Structure 1
Amino acid sequence: MQTTVFDLVDDQNMWRWSSAWFDLYPVVINLPPSTLDQNRGENLVWKDSQSNNTHFSSGWVWNNIRRCDQEVPWVDLVWFAQCIPRHSFHLWLVIKNKLKTQDRMGIWDMGSATNLNLMCCPLCRYNKDSRDHLIFECPFAMQVWNKVKDIAYMDSVDASWASIMAWFEQRASSKSSKTIVSKLVVAAAAYFVWQERNNRLFSQNHQPSSKIADIVLQTVRFKLMTFRARRRSKNPFQLERWKMQMKTMDIDTG
């Protein structure tokens, strides 16, 4: 890794690759000879897909070689500066409908030893679970949602996933304090309902919906405590409902 370009060029400006390089990268034999300027030092340059020479950085290379699709409308709902990363990753799976729910597993070939028709939602024991069922149409999940949605400023939003996504369509990109809290609560509620679902499926550790709702609110409360506050705000964020010591605060959205 310490070898420079100068070390690889002989007096006739021809490449002198080691035999190991020829074995690993036979394409180097087709590289044209290099002309060195003895008065200039070496620097690392990245040539992009349009053959433009740019300063090398790992971020630039990643953005240049990765597949770039059109930005999705829900990106700000999942990824934002104040998010809880594990909750955001889980919410991304929820939006993509990639959770291993029973309705999706039912289309897999599991073999005759597994009767997927007998599976039912571990939370309500009724029908198979699915993304829309767990978030939050299941009676258990709906109880969690109904307890946390008011404090998330989403009291008018029902327990259907379609309604939640429709509510965020015009709000997800907002950096207001209330919108940030709403996004944190939705992601946390989805995360802990899924966690309780797995606990009931794979262990005997069952918790009531009121306890799951309390965990959601406590997790978001702890996150709010880490935020910086701007005290002289024209639109202070009321925190009495979060049982925090400061009566008013406006989240510094960075």
Structure 2
Amino acid sequence: METRNHLFFECNYSKTVWKEVLSLCSLQRSPRQWNFVLQWPVLKLTGKALISIVLWLAWGAFFYWIWRERNCRIFGNTRLSEKVILEKIKDAVLMSLSGTRIRSDEIVNNRICIAWGIE
């Protein structure tokens, strides 16, 4: 039975992708229920810190690409690997951040810039 919890947080495919996204931000969280996951960024990802901005962007891209992958599998009979989806999420984040001035001399920002390939 396909539910939003299953699609985004319970199936191994999306779990793997989301854990990799969090790993790029040096975070470890287990995806849980839909309502909990929706509350987490609202409560925790505030302010203008680079990690907050990157996670907001990655969060949106994650939902988009997982939903798109689901539709491609159902209606187009095509599949992309978790690695390819992660690269598409990274590309979306990088595109959104292009032209943004980032203080990469800060330790946390530097780590994020290296992991995400932000120049």
Task: Tell me if both proteins adopt one fold, taking TM over 0.5 as the criterion.
Answer: yes
Change (3 A) 1:175 1:139: same
Runs of 4+ in 1 over 4 A off after TM superposition: 230-236
Structure with bigger strand share is 1
What percent identity do the matched residue pairs reach?
A: 24
Q: Which amino acid aligns with 1:226?
A: G
Change (3 A) 1:231 1:181: closer
Structure with bigger helix share is 2
- After superposition, the C-alpha distances for 1:141-163 in whole angstroms (9 at most, x for unaligned) are 1111121111245x232122344
> Which has the higher Rg, Structure 1 or Structure 2?
1
* 5+ residue gaps, structure 1: 1-127, 246-254
1:195 CA displacement: 0.1
Q: Which residue of 1 aligns with 2:58?
A: 185
Q: Which residue of 2 aligns with 1:156?
A: 28
* 5+ residue gaps, structure 2: none
Q: What is the aligned residue count?
A: 116
Change (3 A) 1:219 1:232: closer
- Matches of 1:214 and 1:234 in 2, distance apart? 25
Change (3 A) 1:243 1:223: same
Q: Which residue of 2 aligns with 1:144?
A: 17
Change (3 A) 1:201 1:220: same
Q: Is the 8 A contact 2:72 2:79 kept in 1?
A: yes
Change (3 A) 1:204 1:182: same
Matched ranges for 1:36-75 at <5 A = none
Give the TM-score taking structure 2 as reference length.
Answer: 0.80
Change (3 A) 1:159 1:222: same
C-alpha RMSD over aligned residues: 2.4
Q: Which amino acid aligns with 1:145?
A: W
